[in-house]
Structure 1
């Protein structure tokens, strides 16, 4: 069983790789960015990809989908400290084979990966986060590209005037877009929208 650990936390990734490689019939390689992951998948064969959601190049579900398309037939598993349940459900619908929390003991990781390798989807029980508890406030309508762009700029600390200048629109239009974003995310305000969007790996 060949495992690709796609994670930019090199100390953690190397420790996991070394631990897995001690098991008979199992090898592990590390990639530290989305680009590196895509290169590995193009040039080598893997059975499982442990995919960190916050490494360089990752942009939420669209990046997860890119990895799945680059490696059809490979078991792609989300590898993260925390994850929003709605994001996880959406990722599983795309074809992801489960979720491995980074808090999982190394001695349990081998067993979990072998379950996934055998064809099972692995999702450990975990408590809902705030954004999950407020799921009733969310609409089913996804954010469009312009809304995501405004949200990313806001999360980077830009004020409405700066966002308006970058997009070539008025401040009133920026405010209207942010209201739409908050409504779709069930967020109380701009800052809360940034928090929720990061939990859902949208930005």
Structure 2
């Protein structure tokens, strides 16, 4: 397998890369940014799997995940992260992501999981939908509509513009924003947007 490991935690990337390269038949290449992914994909058209960290420079939520999936095809893209909101994971899987590998996974298990994914399977840990991987926690679950409002707000749209796009009124959007801020323990919409990006909710 040829694996592109994209992670800006250099020590972790080095350890994972060395382990993968030590396995017969494996070639691991690494980068620490979104731009680096695009550059390596243009140079290495035979990549089988992309291990994608969500917190690297240049990564902007689902838009970047979608871009990597499109540009790396037919390679399989797998989220490689410490934690991820289950709504984000669901959306990533719908875009064509082939699963989630937690950074807490023992290194000795990683190669077997990658072989499974390379064979065409989707891998998601059984606890990927539990509070351990969902920083917001079930008591703070955002509805799909709230996530949509949050994405638009994080993109800089005003309540009036969001209401227009959703075919509703500003009062309804304000109610959604109050609910979002309460669930995320955010002080205001800007704080909610910051939290949502940190937690990869959008």
- Report the TM-score range of the alignment, normalised by the length of the smaller protein: 0.7 to 0.9
1:187 aligns with 2:193: no
CA deviations over 1:182-202 (Å, ceiling 9, x no partner): 445763653473434532343
Partner of 2:145: 140
1:12-161 pair list within 5 angstroms: 12-44=12-44, 45-126=46-127, 127-128=130-131, 129=134, 131-134=136-139, 137-140=142-145, 142-143=148-149, 147-150=153-156
Aligned residues: 181
Partner of 2:2: 2
Q: How far did residue 179 of structure 1 move?
A: 5.7
Measured on the aligned residues, the alpha-carbon RMSD in Å equals 2.9
Partner of 1:170: none
Q: TM-score, normalised by structure 2?
A: 0.78
Distance 1:178 1:80, change over 3 A: farther
Which sections of structure 2, spanning at least 5 residues, go unmatched?
159-171
Partner of 2:167: none
Point out the more displaced range, 7-16 or 125-134. Answer: 125-134
Q: Secondary structure at the match of 1:190?
A: coil
Report if aligned partners of 1:116, 1:122 keep a CA contact under 8 Å in 2: yes
Which sections of structure 1, spanning at least 5 residues, go unmatched?
152-162, 164-175
Q: Secondary structure at the match of 1:143?
A: helix
Distance 1:136 1:6, change over 3 A: closer
